[in-house]
Amino acid sequence: MSADTPELAALKKRVDEEERGYAELLAAVDRLAQFPLPIERLPEQPAQMERLNALWEALPAPQTSGLWARVLGRIWRSLAPRFERQQEFNAYLVRVLNGQLSEAARLNAHLRELAATLTRYFQRLLPLVDARDRMSSALATTRAELILEAFDRRLERLERRIDGLAALRDRLETVDEKTRAIEKSLAAQAPPPSVAAAAVRAAGDAAYVAFENRFRGSREEIRERLADYVALFRDLAPVLDLGCGRGELLDLLREAGITARGVDANASAVAECRARGLDVVQGDLLDFLRAEQAGTVGAVFAAQVVEHLKAHALVDLVRESQRVLQSGGLLVLETVNPRSVVGFLEVFTRDLTHERPLHPDTLRFLAAAEGFSDVRIEWRSPVEPDARLQTIPTDGLPPAAAQLLNENIARLNGLLYGPQEYALVARR
């Protein structure tokens, strides 16, 4: 992630603000913890209290004799109740002052201890947070390294599969060499040219049928993958299946009561379709389309065909499909998704007869340019969830870091493990 990323810049700004606020709070607590106690501000207070405690003692009775003693005695007896009440008042007042001063001293000492404790807490809080951040960063780095390690292992598996494709290419080259040898042998025997050409085509057709059986899947697997197309064509008979192969879609349409015909250049595949009673002809798919009258077809379908065509042939296919389709008819072209690394490596590069990968935008543009409306792309053959990169648990990670890491994992999944195929669906 670059330093000028808006999300990271905002996160750094927030961290700076929080650190400034923390520093201000720590300074305020430290300042407040320095308050002086009352005993420190009023050092004369103990002596004053000691003097006050001494002054509230009871006044002694006059100690005289004679006439003066009798006079003072009578005065003392008349004033004694008032002196006693004043003495009692003074005693209570001194006790209250002593109690209040004692409690105030204890509370002030407690407040100073609390302030000092808060200061020590804040002084230790920042290093603790820093340590947790470093630990979280270390954990995030470790988890990212584990993800990259898993990704490296998957790349190694892909490389091994590519090596397997290279071995397959060598085998196909061997088949080509044997085919050329057969062709030379037939030429040496001087058979009719048409017979020799048919023999060569038959050998090549048989080899490609074997290739499809090996890598594309069994008839049951292909039927399952194509089954959801049937609903698109339910009220659009007749349907033309270009490059129908072994006729899996034609079987499904016949079972649904939808009229359909197919064309394929592979003689072995055509023979297999006809053996099951399907309406299939052998030939070029463009010639097949050109032979149809304008506006007489309900739908045109081609699965895993357009990536085999030259550019001019692909343009002609879209144009001829637009011509033969009736109003409201559908053109459906299924092909490999080159935006998925798995789709490109596992599907497209495996077949040596593929001409070029076709970006979804390319087919969408060609259809729109020829006058099709309601042009859309439907994604197909998703990669299994277990084969995709997994998101990172957010426990122990800063929320922003976890969110950013998982967003990057989602982007990688979209690039590496996107749907392996897509279908262009366009309405005339």
CB-based contacts of 73: which residues, under 8 Å, 6+ apart?
Answer: 62
Q: Is the predicted pLDDT of residue 236 greater than 60, yes or no? A: yes
The model's confidence at residue 160, banded by pLDDT at 50, 70 and 90, is confident
Half-sphere exposure of 296 (CA within 13 A, CB side): 7
Kindly state whether residues 378 and 265 are assigned to the same domain: yes
Residue 142 in any domain: the answer is: no
Kindly state whether residues 244 and 122 are assigned to the same domain: no
The model's confidence at residue 344, banded by pLDDT at 50, 70 and 90, is low
Q: What's the average model confidence in pLDDT over 111-137?
A: 70
Give me the residues paired with residue 242 across strands: 263
Residue 264 in any domain: the answer is: yes
Three-state secondary structure call for residue 202:
helix
- Give pLDDT, residue 106: 77
Ramachandran angles phi, psi of 280, nearest 5°: -135, 140
In angstroms and rounded to an integer, the radius of gyration of the C-alpha atoms of the chain is: 48
The model's confidence at residue 139, banded by pLDDT at 50, 70 and 90, is low
- Give pLDDT, residue 2: 47
Query: 99, 133, 167: which is the final residue of a domain?
Result: 133
pTM for this prediction: 0.49
Evaluate the omega torsion of the peptide bond into residue 238 and state whether it is cis, within 30 degrees of 0: yes
Residue 51 in any domain: the answer is: yes
Q: How many domains does the chain have?
A: 2
CATH number at residue 411: 3.40.50.150
Q: Is the predicted pLDDT of residue 418 greater than 80, yes or no? A: no
- Give pLDDT, residue 224: 92
- Give pLDDT, residue 34: 72
Question: Percent of the chain scored above 70 by pLDDT?
Answer: 74
Kindly state whether residues 99 and 238 are assigned to the same domain: no
d(CA 22, CA 365): 58
Neighbouring CB atoms inside 10 A of 62's CB total 12
Kindly state whether residues 230 and 99 are assigned to the same domain: no
Is residue 253 classed exposed, middle or buried when 0-12, 13-18 and 19+ CB atoms within 10 A define those classes? Answer: buried
- Give pLDDT, residue 327: 95
Residue 212 in any domain: the answer is: no
Residue 373 in any domain: the answer is: yes
- Give pLDDT, residue 196: 42
Q: Is the predicted pLDDT of residue 141 greater than 90, yes or no? A: no
- Give pLDDT, residue 20: 82
**How many residues are there in the chain?**
428
Three-state secondary structure call for residue 295:
coil
- Give pLDDT, residue 13: 81
Q: What is the DSSP letter of 328?
A: E
Q: Are 307 and 354 in contact (CB under 8 A)?
A: yes
Task: Tell me what the pLDDT averaged over the chain comes to.
Answer: 78
Q: Is the predicted pLDDT of residue 213 greater than 60, yes or no? A: no
Residue 260 in any domain: the answer is: yes
Distances (CA, A) of 133 to 107, 128, 375: 39, 9, 51
Token digits for 295?
């506006």
Distances (CA, A) of 129 to 19, 22, 274, 405: 11, 12, 76, 22
Mean pLDDT is highest, among 168-172, 185-189, 203-207, for 168-172
Kindly state whether residues 224 and 90 are assigned to the same domain: no
Burial 260-272, CB ≥16 within 10 A → b, else e: bbbbbbbbbbbeb
Q: Is the predicted pLDDT of residue 176 greater than 90, yes or no? A: no
The model's confidence at residue 202, banded by pLDDT at 50, 70 and 90, is very low
Please give the residue range of the domain that contains residue 248. Answer: 219-427
Kindly state whether residues 129 and 223 are assigned to the same domain: no
Q: Are 402 and 409 in contact (CB under 8 A)?
A: no
The model's confidence at residue 390, banded by pLDDT at 50, 70 and 90, is confident
Q: Which residue has the higher pLDDT, 59 or 275?
A: 275
Give me the residues paired with residue 421 across strands: 336, 380
Query: 100, 133, 166: which is the final residue of a domain?
Result: 133
Kindly state whether residues 260 and 361 are assigned to the same domain: yes
Kindly state whether residues 32 and 128 are assigned to the same domain: yes
d(CA 35, CA 108): 10
Give me the residues paired with residue 330 across strands: 299, 427
Question: Percent of the chain scored above 90 by pLDDT?
Answer: 32
- Give pLDDT, residue 376: 95
Q: Which of 95-99, 130-134, 169-173, 201-205 has the lowest mean pLDDT?
A: 201-205
Pairing of strands 239-242, 260-264: parallel
Q: What is the DSSP letter of 340?
A: S
The model's confidence at residue 131, banded by pLDDT at 50, 70 and 90, is low
Residue 56 in any domain: the answer is: yes
Burial 305-327, CB ≥16 within 10 A → b, else e: bbbbbeeeebebbbebbbbbbee
Q: Calculate helix-pair angle for 66-188, 6-32, nearest 10 degrees.
A: 160
CB-based contacts of 204: which residues, under 8 Å, 6+ apart?
Answer: 179
The model's confidence at residue 405, banded by pLDDT at 50, 70 and 90, is confident
Q: Are 233 and 299 in contact (CB under 8 A)?
A: yes
Residue 143 in any domain: the answer is: no
Q: Which residue has the higher pLDDT, 68 or 198?
A: 68
Condensed to tens digits (0 to 9), the pLDDT of residues 278-320 reads: 999 999 999 999 999 999 999 999 998 999 999 999 999 999 9
Query: 133, 163, 189: which is the final residue of a domain?
Result: 133
Q: Is the predicted pLDDT of residue 193 greater than 80, yes or no? A: no
Kindly state whether residues 284 and 417 are assigned to the same domain: yes
Kindly state whether residues 244 and 107 are assigned to the same domain: no
Kindly state whether residues 238 and 351 are assigned to the same domain: yes
Q: Which of 297, 251, 305 is nearest to 278 (CA)?
A: 251
Kindly state whether residues 239 and 378 are assigned to the same domain: yes
